[in-house]
């Protein structure tokens, strides 16, 4: 991870907010919105990237349009919470493309996974052949998402 600058100012916060809302903004449009010229705007964006405030840019792809009609949140409990075992499980999830998020939790559940599948049968096949068969996995509780009523990537930024 890149080194963070100690302090960001109001212009940096506005850049972060605008790019978080629309990562396709051109530097010229972003500079216009900020009321500064494009060269210093680009320098600020690059500095925010280099210092780790901006980790990347991506398109939000519609899962259903791509044939993934099922989203499941799986609560995974491991038999051992030894740091090496936790890291091994995290590394394993990186090899499963249908696992879109992996979050380690405090409490009864060790990990919460967000998993997409074509349908329930495909999820069940993944569950039985890969997830529950993985080393150190003691239990899995699955919750099928009915719909998503809010999706806001990133963080709230005061500008």
Q: Over the stretch 107-153, which tens digit does the pLDDT of each residue have?
A: 999 999 999 999 999 999 999 999 999 999 999 999 999 999 999 98
**Average pLDDT of the residues in 21-25:** 95
The CATH number that domain 10-50 falls under is: 1.10.10.10
Domain with CATH 3.30.70.920 in the chain: 70-144
Provide the pLDDT for residue 5.
59
- The CATH architecture to which 70-144 belongs is 2-Layer Sandwich (3.30)
Q: Are 16 and 51 in contact (CB under 8 A)?
A: no
Q: Inform me whether the pLDDT recorded for 25 exceeds 90.
A: yes
Domain with CATH 1.10.10.10 in the chain: 10-50
Report residue 137: phi and psi, to 5°. -80, 120
Q: Inform me whether the pLDDT recorded for 4 exceeds 90.
A: no
Residues with Cβ within 8 Å of 48's Cβ and at least 6 positions away in sequence, in order, are 8, 12, 15, 16, 54
Average pLDDT of the chain, as a whole number: 95
Provide the pLDDT for residue 7.
87
pTM, rounded to two decimals: 0.87
């Amino acid at each position: 991870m890149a080194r963070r600058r100690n302090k960001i100012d109001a212009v940096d916060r506005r850049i972060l907010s605008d790019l978080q809302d629309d990562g396709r903004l051109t530097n010229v449009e972003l500079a216009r919105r900020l009321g500064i010229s494009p060269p210093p705007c680009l320098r600020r964006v690059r500095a925010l990237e280099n210092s780790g405030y901006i980790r990347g840019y991506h398109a939000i792809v519609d899962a259903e349009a791509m044939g993934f009609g099922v989203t499941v949140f799986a609560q995974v409990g491991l038999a051992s919470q030894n740091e090496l075992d936790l890291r091994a499980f995290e590394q394993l999830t990186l090899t499963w493309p249908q696992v879109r998020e992996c979050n380690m939790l405090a409490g009864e559940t060790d990990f919460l996974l967000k998993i997409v599948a074509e349908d329930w049968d495909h999820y069940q096949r993944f569950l039985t052949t890969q997830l529950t068969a993985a080393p150190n996995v003691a239990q899995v509780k699955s919750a099928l998402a009915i719909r998503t009523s809010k999706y806001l990537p990133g963080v709230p930024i005061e500008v």
